[in-house]
Structure 1
């Protein structure tokens, strides 16, 4: 059963400018394993975090760092949730997140489907 769907797009240049103006955003938005990635990958991961929030109904109290996009060598990216996001997802019956990421022509995008029982 589909619990929710979320999509988000990020202008990569605008995202980079925001990070340059407010470097602490990197710590607030991304975990240790994410921060060293190229700008277009960070923008796509931020879009994924937004898409996860939307797939859950954009509830108040989500912590950005509680959504992580992991990618093991040769495998597609996956959403890993913990803390505030894991609790809300569990309360809604979400068991799996399906993720699609893209970045091209200065835009990063993500689509998330939250699937449950």
Structure 2
């Protein structure tokens, strides 16, 4: 059952200017594995994190650096959640988090769908966790 949907749109040049003005944003917003990416990829990941917060219904217990966007070998983007953010997702009974990213014409967008299952499926680990991936 879908329990949350989130979408976010980021102006890539504006986001790039914000990173230039405030370099500490990289550490505050991104996991170590994301920080070396190009601005369009960072903007898409920022949009993904915002969309996840919207799908969760708020940011209580959610920390930016606990949310990493990685890629499966097929290239499909997935969340790798850790710390209190992973606990919040699990605590809300969310069993799967789906993510779609795109960037074109100076904009980056992300769409997130959070699902919760019945009591039996809620006991299984959520599909948001990965251990490796090659971010795009």
TM-score by length of 1: 0.95
- Native 8 Å contact 2:12 2:43 kept in 1: yes
Take 2:36 and 2:72, find their aligned partners in 1: how far apart are those partners?
15
Provide Cα deviations, 1:67-93, integer angstroms capped at 9, x if missing partner: 110014433110121112111111211
Q: Distance in 2 between matches of 1:76 and 1:16?
A: 24
Which consecutive segments of 4 or more residues in structure 1 shift more than 2 A? 72-75
Within-5 A mapping of 1:1-117: 1-117=1-117
**Maintained 8 Å contact 2:61/2:88:** no
Give the number of the structure whose alpha-carbon radius of gyration is greater.
2
The runs of 5 or more residues in structure 2 that have no matched partner are 118-136
The 3 A distance-change label for structure 1 pair 30 and 59 is: closer
Aligned residues: 117
Distance 1:85 1:29 in 2: 13
CA distance in 2, matches of 1:97, 1:80: 10
CA RMSD of aligned residues (A): 1.1
Instruction: Mark the runs of 5 or more structure 1 residues left unpaired by the alignment.
Output: none
> Larger relative CO (CA 8 A, sep 6+): 1 or 2?
1
Partner of 2:123: none
